[in-house]
Amino acid sequence: QVQLQESGPGLVKPSETLSLTCTVSGGSISSYYWSWIRQPPGKGLEWIGYIYYSGSTNYNPSLKSRVTISVDTSKNQFSLKLSSVTAADTAVYYCAGELMATIYYWGQGTLVTVSS
């Protein structure tokens, strides 16, 4: 059974870069597309983007200019960087395993607050 665990700072200052890492265990990193999804407090889900183990990526057009997703297959990890953050980027960030537009596996989520 695939398990995902997010890690990274829970507090980021405005205008800085948010960085999170997801560690994949219990399965091959080559089996799924690895995604980031976020959920602002009290609001709905937003798909951020995905990466395949080969390194190919695709991003939500609304965030594309600020997002970078990368993968480290040797560590079974993938990462998210979101630049120039504002309070609107405060959210629970989930890493997830996706296939055929279906999110099969979710991490537990990590709250990132943007505040000075």
Partner 1 sequence: QSALTQPASVSGSPGQSITISCTGTSSDVGSYNLVSWYQQHPGKAPKLMIYEVSKRPSGVSNRFSGSKSGNTASLTISGLQAEDEADYYCCSYAGSSTLVFGTGTKVTVL
Spatial contact of 97 and 105, defined as CB atoms under 8 Å apart:
yes
Q: Which two tokens stand for residue 7?
A: 């890690």
Q: How far is the CB of 3 from partner 1 (least distance, A)?
A: 11
> Which of 55, 25, 29, 49 is closest to 37 using CA atoms?
49
Taking residue 108's Cβ as centre, other Cβ atoms within 10 Å add up to 11
CB nearer to partner 1: pick between 88 and 101: 101
CB nearer to partner 1: pick between 74 and 102: 102
CB nearer to partner 1: pick between 18 and 51: 51
Binding residues for partner 1, per CB under 8 A?
35, 37, 44-47, 50, 58, 60-62, 94, 98, 100-104, 106-109
